[in-house]
């Protein structure tokens, strides 16, 4: 059973319409000319791969901030959080995670807490690996009050190909680290803003895994791990 679950990774619900559309197009192409149909098979398989939603095992601890996205740590710098969230405009530690089209694109909550603000801002669609993407691109920002009394922010940022940001959170919602909360379709970026008490636990160029990689912690503590299968 574990071997089957490893191979047959579930799809995120956002992917069902796309996979179905690719499959229908593939059937039509196969009827018209089989070589085109086999290209459609490959495209359908890639679409299913893109929308994969594997289970993750999340580290547990009030002082931990977990990666909300799969991808490469693009930058660790200082920047003010998204102004639309109403937070103080002072620089915070920002950890930027770049997701290419081959990464899992399901986003997960980085820490236990409560959603205190949500804000969508339209913008451009420049390459998400560029520093200016944080300021110029379309984004969905989330403000979280953590269980340990601190506060962080998360910004889902559209990229060059991405044209759809999905966020299922709502203000006042209680959340737990590792829970799924949305995704960005077809290449994008997620920025996490932390106060000075959080010490980064990752390096630029490191690969992060949503719901598993510890991005930062207060005091450098780590505790037991819990599995999130829902």
Q: Which residues of 54-72 are buried (b: 16+ CB within 10 A; e: fewer)?
A: eebebbbbbbbbbbbbbbb
- Determine which one of 129, 134, 188, 208 is catalytic: 188
Any catalytic annotation for residue 78? no
Distance, CA of 193 to CA of 170 (rounded, Å): 19
Distance, CA of 53 to CA of 73 (rounded, Å): 20
114: left (phi over 0), alpha (psi -120 to 50) or beta: beta
What is 2-53 written as a DSSP string?
HHHHHHSPPBPGGGHHHHHHHHHHHHHHHHH-HHHHHHHHHHHHHHHHHTB-
Token match 């390096």: residue?
Answer: 203
Complete edge-to-edge strand list for the sheet that includes strand 165-167:
106-108, 180-184, 165-167
Distance, CA of 37 to CA of 29 (rounded, Å): 5
Q: Minimal CA–CA distance to 108: which of 198, 176, 13, 161?
A: 176
Distance, CA of 42 to CA of 200 (rounded, Å): 39
Q: Which two tokens stand for residue 133?
A: 């993407």
Q: Which sequence positions are flagged as catalytic? A: 188
């Amino acid at each position: 059973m574990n071997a089957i679950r490893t191979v047959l990774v579930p799809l995120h619900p956002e992917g069902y319409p796309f996979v179905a559309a690719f499959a229908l197009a593939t059937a039509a192409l196969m009827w018209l000319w089989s070589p085109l149909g086999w290209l459609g098979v490959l495209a359908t398989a890639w679409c299913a791969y893109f929308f994969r939603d594997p289970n993750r095992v999340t580290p547990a601890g009030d002082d931990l901030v977990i990666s909300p996205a799969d991808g490469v740590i693009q930058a660790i710098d200082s920047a003010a959080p998204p102004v639309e969230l109403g937070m103080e405009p002072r620089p915070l530690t920002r950890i930027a995670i770049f997701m290419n089209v081959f990464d899992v694109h399901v986003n997960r909550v980085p820490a236990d807490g409560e959603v205190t603000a949500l804000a969508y801002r339209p913008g451009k669609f420049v390459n998400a690996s560029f520093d200016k993407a944080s300021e110029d691109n379309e984004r969905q920002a989330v403000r979280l009050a953590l269980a340990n009394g601190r506060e962080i922010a998360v910004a889902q940022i559209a990229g060059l190909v991405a044209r759809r940001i999905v966020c299922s959170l709502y203000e006042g919602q209680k959340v737990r680290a590792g829970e799924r909360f949305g995704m960005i379709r077809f290449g994008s970026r997620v920025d996490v803003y932390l106060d000075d008490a959080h010490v980064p636990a990752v390096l630029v160029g490191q690969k992060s895994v949503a719901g598993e990689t510890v991005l930062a912690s207060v005091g450098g503590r780590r505790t037991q791990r819990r599995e999130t299968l829902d």
